[in-house]
Amino acid sequence: MNNLTLKIEEIQAISNGKHGDLFSVLGLQTVNVNGKEKLVLRVFRPNAKSINVLPEKGKPIELKRASEEGLFEHVFTRRKNRFPYKIKVTPYEGEVYTIEDPYRFASQISDYDLQLWGEGNHHYAHNWMGAHPKTIDGVDGTHFVVCAPSAVRVSVIGSFNNWDGRIHGMRFYPDQGIWETFIPHVTKGDLYKFEIKSHPDQAPMKKADPYARYSELRPGTASKIWTDSYSWKDSSWVDNRADIQQHDRPISIYEIHAGSWKRKVGEDPGFLSYRELADELVPYMDEMEFTHVELMPIAEHPYDPSWGYQITGYFAPTSRFGNPEDLKYFIDKCHQANIGVIVDWVPAHFTKDDHGLRRFDGTALYEHEDPRLGEHKDWGTNIFNFGRTEVKNFLISNAVYWVEEFHIDGLRVDAVASMLYLDYSREDGEWIPNEYGGRENLEAIYFLRRFNEVIHDYFPGVLTFAEESTSWQGVSRPTSSGGLGFDFKWNMGWMNDTLDYMEKDPIYRKYHQDQLSFSLIYAFSEQFILPLSHDEVVHMKQSLLSKMPGDDWQKFANLRLLYTYMFGHPGKKLLFMGDEFAQWSEWTEQYSIDWHLLQWENHKGVQHLVKDLNRIYKKESALHEVDYKWEGFEWIDISDADNSMLSFIRKGKNPDDYLVFLLNFTPTLHNQYKFGVPEACEYEVVLNSDSEFYGGSNAGPKLIRGQEGAWHSQPANITVTVPPLAGVILRPKK
């Protein structure tokens, strides 16, 4: 061996993969050799028989072997300054190849990026963290950056270096915990991971890139180099989004699970690609008059039955349905059809899979060390440590990334209640109070407020939604007023009370009239979404149709009544896939929803009803303009519990713009039922859920003449036939 300049222990550390700072010893270095400063070139290539350096100017020079494991070096006697060069490698087996030396490239990270990162204020960390193909000094390759402050060595491993962590060790920035390197000739599609050693004598961990833009299809766990130049065609939508998504505009959301909305017959698993979803789902939503689609989480996740709520690749659209450009195509097509796209976002917790974020650098980098703070026992996941700068940079950058890169129109934040409370789903002794002795998670509260501020400041018109199931005050209040800053909150109270009421036999409903009226006590305390989501039709809860009491006719009538009541109640709307045509079976991610049911008229009738409700909701300003204050709603009568009858008025910004809702929650037909109305004019039927077109008995009024005479605290009245288990919507004919 020719140990020319390195100590034997350094050679051993390099050869064994224990050297933590290869940038300090490999590539061109100025070192002291026999009392004189010399330029030295060192290359480490395991399994290389010989290595030659090829200067841009001058003759090739053979490097001398410094170790059996593949360390080579050369001391230059005349050259004193750095120079461009390549390396020619002759392996023991295989063909000779020429490469650029990754250790000859200078750092590509700016001081400004490092400063923002250290402050926890880097909202565009995705633009330099992770893997980014680029050209440096005329050389094509990929720039890699990862955060691992407690690691003693980090390397890039992949299909380009035989997954050998000794070859591409990274440069370390100890003040920020950042590791970096540029690897020539690594290109789009190459697989890679980060090999991380938390101790020189411990086996390395092989981690997927937290900032990866694309991932290997499960069960593979590697990240993929990705770049694209998708040409968007949705400028009209994006330019007008702030107007389209005003809070006084209609929002009717169709929630879907991309893997089970529809599947290809005879194929396993038969997923539709993002592009196939665009071709089939977008026209369907357009026909059904939904304004928005909400995708259950589409970030990369290892386990199908998690539905995407246990994530390993926060920046990578799942490869189950195609590549990131394919997802952009889907979103683009939605926007061209004037359909907004909302994505479920999961900052509350992450999966424990070994290749993911858990103990990323051998310590609790993303989570809490103490399981009383850092573990969700119910879900078997880890909780983000929202107080760490690394986590704030990661999650807020992730939200910005989805909106900016994919033109997402809204982020629905999952499990907000679990973020707000330190004792969420924990017994005494299983949680740690905050610094003031309370149960509120102060770091999570700050994070949620900052997230909402950033999204609303950077992207006017983009909406944020909180799935928050408690009575936390001010979820949809601006942060400047002490709120969390969300645009909308899911109205879980309305959902629970309404479904509980609807599941009761109509005989007993008169004892529970308050379950329908109670929601109006707090209906304007927040800006609400009324959700009938996937959570209500899984895990032995039955489908919405199956929840309904009575025989088949009554079940369908009850469901049509539920939807009519939902569209009349203040709040934006959300319906899960399959519910719009009255699916019998509970939802499962394993199969497509039951499209075959549409061969029967009663299922087709419910679908027609949902379509018409969406159309009326979009057309009638009384149903969407004033969702958030009392001026948009007025009770006519809530006192007739014996007949389980409800009636109310919905109003637009112009009080003369109104609709009357008459709701009969019993299977009894009421002839000559008298209601109060705002004026003595003719009223036309906008919708009757008992219409035979929807599968009903076709009872009910056709055209009604209002009479002078106060009734139900209204100045006029009407006398109508109210169909059984049905809702009727009336509009003054002027």
Residue 279 has a CB neighbour count (10 Å cut-off) of 13
| Cα–Cα distance measured from residue 108 to residue 144, given in angstroms and rounded to the nearest whole number | 10
| Cα–Cα distance measured from residue 143 to residue 23, given in angstroms and rounded to the nearest whole number | 15
Phi, psi of 272 (to 5 degrees): -75, 140
DSSP 8-state symbol, 582: T
* Marked catalytic residue, from 69, 467, 625, 627: 467
Task: Answer whether 503's CB lies under 8 Å from 536's CB.
Answer: no
Sheet holding 703-705, edge to edge: 633-637, 645-651, 658-664, 726-732, 682-688, 703-705
292 contact partners, CB below 8 Å, separation of at least 6: 251, 252, 253, 254, 339, 340, 341, 342, 409, 410
Q: How far is CA 338 from the centre of its chain?
A: 21
40 contact partners, CB below 8 Å, separation of at least 6: 4, 5, 28, 29, 30, 31, 33, 73, 74, 75, 76
* 467 classed as catalytic: yes
499 contact partners, CB below 8 Å, separation of at least 6: 532, 536, 544, 547
Structure tokens at 66: 């410094």
Is the CA virtual torsion 471, 477, 483, 486 positive or negative? positive
| Cα–Cα distance measured from residue 332 to residue 275, given in angstroms and rounded to the nearest whole number | 10
Amino acid of residue 67:
S
Q: Where are the beta strands (DSSP E) in 426-500?
A: 463-466, 488-490
* Marked catalytic residue, from 414, 579, 620, 625: 414
* Crossing angle for the helix pair 442-458 and 389-406, to the nearest 10 degrees: 30
Q: Are strands 71-76 and 64-65 parallel, antiparallel or unpaired?
A: antiparallel
| Cα–Cα distance measured from residue 8 to residue 5, given in angstroms and rounded to the nearest whole number | 9
* 255 classed as catalytic: no
Catalytic residue list: 414, 467
